[in-house]
Structure 1
Amino acid sequence: MYSFEKRNLSPMLFEEAKDVFNSPDYLYELKFDGIRCLAYLDEATELINKRGKILNQTYPELKNLHQNVKVKMLLDGELLLIKNGKPDFYALQRRSLMTDPFKIKIQTNINPVIYVAFDLLYLKDKFLIDTPLLERKKLLQENVQESKDLIISKYIKENGQKLFQVVKEMKLEGIVAKKKDSHYYPGKRSSVWLKIKIYEEDDLIICGYIPKENVIDLILGRYLDGKIIRAGSVVTGKFKQQIINYAKNNPSIPLFPEKENVIWMVPKLVGRVRYMMKTKEGGLRQPVFMGVRDDKFAEDLLN
């Protein structure tokens, strides 16, 4: 039995869809690049992440969210840090790791965090998890006053492909599709809530690898002004033996400074990598190794 006072409800989870689609049965929203967070609003505000950790001390600028509502309620949403008009997950992650109260206070002015609410799970004295999603959305809109710290997520009906294209052009993370009549299943993953991420693919040079248990961590490179520079890393198990055999027959001197022991190889093999976006440091976010290209070598990437 869920209890507002015991704070014992976990956020509902998304399944991942491979392709975007249109459907009159679904509504579509932005997939926010933030930290999932439940907001318990009563006489005070209590923010709890999906692992059950209280976040109030980490984000003190959100301590008065309860002043945006007139009745007791539980919101589901995400913490976002906006920079240059877009969510910046890495800046948010740096803030999430801070523990020094003085540094946190400084950051509340330099890099303030906002709360984006996309669902209403409890209102006045009743849980709404068995209430259809569209009705919960309506109640959310009626009972929450937006402010600079608290924003309600907007959605569109039916046309997921159009929203996906706009989000792709803006280089955002993706969209979510939710069945309009869906109930809320705490702590469970369900196909009535789908996340559709935007991925990129690139051909990168395999420069070496770090042996791991049952897999290898590939050190990747790319050309910049005719020289190979580091381009992140990606784990593979399926192509492990092929790459190990090549490295054994084609050893190389170190190409980049690395903290771990790397087995370096002549930078000739090219791998296809799928990833969400490039990081500011030049790495790859959520990379997946698709395979070794047998029709292309490193020198082909110069053109």
Structure 2
Amino acid sequence: MELPPIPPMLATPGTLPPAAQDARWAYETKQDGQRVVAYLPGDGRVLLRARSGQDITAAYPELRALGAALAGTPAVLDGEVLALDPEGRADFQLLQSRMGLAHDPARAAHRAARVPVHLVLFDVLRLGARSLLREPYLRRREHLEGLGLSGPAWSVPAALVGHGAEALRATREHGLEGLVCKRVDSVYEPGVRSRAWIKIRNMRGEDVVVGGWLPGKGRLSGLPGAVLVGQRAAGRLRYVGGVGTGWSAAERDELAALLRAATTDACPFDPVPRVPGARWVVPRLVGEVRYSTRTREGLLRQPSWLRLRPDLTPEESAAELPDDLV
């Protein structure tokens, strides 16, 4: 059966719904992995597509068996690919070693033996010949849970209706990334960043776009001592600060190679920041940083690098300045 492509619905950053509306929302653990839509045509095959629409099936050979899990029933499923640390928590840095290998199946298979992944499924968009996009969230969850998808490398995590404050507190106590709040009557909006889904991060972290760097000194000579980052605002890339901590030696070396390959003479920030010695790059790398607060001008205070986001392009990321700082 030919299954039409469906871009995933996206959540909007926010806070817990008001207590008076708590029963109108379902709460799921926010996963720290790579978002995928899985297409199961019903003949034993599986096709995995990233948010960009790219076919990434070959990057995750251990998920091929999912194609036979529904015994001939075509389906389109929404989920997230995770790599788990020894405590069973999602670790994006581990997952990075598995990403980008869709065009190298032999290398992907080798990495799979060392860093296995797990696919968590949290929505069903199509079942048989029937689209479920206009069905409310709770009905779609009933369909999903009824499929019995519990396998060696995939599962359907629980969702809690109501009790949002308790759910958020539990994610913090267990060191999890956060919570996704989903309105129980919400339909599935393909490709839309909707207010019907709200994501809450336990750490203050945001995506940024790398637009330049400062050379390091001493033992860091020839390597980046800091990267210069920005976020979009009114169609421009606004400078939000320099980030000089958070890398391992290997990560700094990797970043140095990526920056050298993206060198340009033109500053991508508007307006151009006053940063003596800055070297500019084409703004195509997305990273995630954590920080304490912002200045009134929108600059990040005490920023620290968390990770590259090779699964996102600057256009796909949510790297935007808050409205009150534009």
TM-score (norm 2): 0.64
Task: After TM superposition, list the pairs within 5 Å mapping 1:218-297 onto structure 2.
Answer: 218-220=241-243, 244=274, 260=279, 273=301, 278=306
TM-aligned CA deviation for residue 7 of structure 1? 2.8
Distance 1:287 1:140, change over 3 A: closer
What is the letter of the counterpart of residue 7 of structure 2?
Answer: S
* Structure-1 residue corresponding to 2:99: 96
TM-aligned CA deviation for residue 197 of structure 1? 1.4
Matched, 1:178 2:206: no
Answer with 1 or 2: which has the greater Rg: 1
Report if aligned partners of 2:226, 2:244 keep a CA contact under 8 Å in 1.
no
Report if aligned partners of 1:175, 1:195 keep a CA contact under 8 Å in 2.
yes
TM-aligned CA deviation for residue 8 of structure 1? 2.3
How many residue pairs end up in the alignment?
250
Task: After TM superposition, list the pairs within 5 Å mapping 1:117-128 onto structure 2.
Answer: 117-128=121-132
2:192 to 188, 191, 211: 188
* Structure-2 residue corresponding to 1:32: 31
SS at match of 1:194: strand
SS at match of 1:273: coil
* Structure-2 residue corresponding to 1:52: 53
C-alpha distance in structure 2 between counterparts of 1:274 and 1:175, whole Å: 25
TM-score (norm 1): 0.69
TM-aligned CA deviation for residue 53 of structure 1? 1.1
2:111 to 107, 113, 122: 107
* Structure-2 residue corresponding to 1:80: 82
Describe the superposition over 1:271-293 as per-residue Cα deviations: whole angstroms up to 9, x where unpaired.
Answer: 7638798459xxxxx99999xxx
Distance 1:173 1:9, change over 3 A: same
Report if aligned partners of 1:200, 1:275 keep a CA contact under 8 Å in 2.
no
Report if aligned partners of 2:34, 2:50 keep a CA contact under 8 Å in 1.
yes
* Structure-1 residue corresponding to 2:6: 9
Describe the superposition over 1:172-222 as per-residue Cα deviations: whole angstroms up to 9, x where unpaired.
Answer: 211100111111111122211111112248xxxxx9885989644633457
C-alpha distance in structure 2 between counterparts of 1:176 and 1:210, whole Å: 30
TM-aligned CA deviation for residue 169 of structure 1? 2.3
Give the gaps of 5 or more residues in structure 2: 206-224, 231-235, 246-251, 256-268, 281-294, 309-317
